[in-house]
């Protein structure tokens, strides 16, 4: 059975305030955190979320990304951008080379085959990826996979990341959550 910690216990463990833990939970930044009544339960083995500002400063775009205006389109929704024969979707994904492209394609496969838990789990690893195509794909998959699971906070968090995406790539900002009603 999975062990959970209270906000207070988690705050002491990580050396931050209870308010900060509450914010992490509300933003969906702690995988496996669950709201029980008015309180949050944090998995005992959960790691403290990384500061996204530091991650952004430390990562530099590759030459391929710089040439493409800040984004490498290779990992942008790779399954939807790959032709395959009907009934051979999974084989197509499994034939891809290991790495972000295959991982995002597998998350897409799970989402479109009615397995939102698996899709969210696979996409979550790329929510802070320096590869903007993989990150944007992960934000969209993670957001929409969490809706049927009732994880609205996680959906909002991921859509916020997707909404900021065009600014990171120098493009025009187009709100993606406007029609969702969250």
Residues 47-89 have pLDDT tens digits of 898 877 776 555 555 544 444 445 567 778 999 989 989 999 9
Helices (H), 18-151: 18-26, 52-58, 63-67, 89-94, 100-112, 116-124, 132-146
User: What mean pLDDT value characterizes the chain?
Assistant: 81
Q: Which residues contact 53 (CB under 8 A, 6 or more apart)?
A: none
pTM listed for this prediction: 0.55
- Domains of the chain, by residue range, sit at 1-48, 50-176
Percent of residues, the chain, with pLDDT higher than 90: 42
Mean pLDDT of 146-150: 92
Over 60: is that where the pLDDT of 165 sits? Answer: no
Q: Are strands 34-36 and 4-5 parallel, antiparallel or unpaired?
A: unpaired
- 179 pLDDT higher than 70: no
Architecture of the structural domain at 1-48: Orthogonal Bundle (1.10)
* pLDDT band per the 50, 70, 90 thresholds, residue 164: low
Specify the pLDDT at position 26. 84
């Amino acid at each position: 059975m999975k062990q959970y910690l209270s906000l207070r216990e988690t705050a002491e463990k990580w050396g931050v305030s209870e308010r900060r833990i509450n914010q992490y939970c509300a933003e969906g930044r702690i995988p496996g955190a669950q709201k029980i009544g008015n309180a949050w339960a944090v998995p005992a083995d959960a790691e403290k979320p990384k500061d996204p500002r530091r991650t952004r400063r430390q990562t530099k775009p590759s030459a391929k990304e710089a040439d493409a205006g800040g984004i490498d389109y290779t990992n942008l929704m790779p399954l939807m951008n790959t032709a395959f024969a009907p009934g051979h979707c999974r084989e197509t994904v499994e034939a891809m080379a290991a790495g972000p492209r295959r991982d995002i394609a597998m998350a897409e496969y799970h989402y479109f085959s009615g397995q939102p838990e698996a899709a969210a789990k696979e996409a979550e690893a790329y929510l802070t990826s320096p590869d903007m195509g993989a990150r944007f794909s992960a934000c969209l998959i993670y957001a929409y996979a969490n809706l049927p699971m009732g994880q609205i906070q996680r959906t909002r968090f991921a859509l916020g990341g997707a909404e900021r995406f065009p600014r990171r790539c120098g493009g025009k900002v187009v709100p993606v959550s406007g029609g969702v009603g969250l």
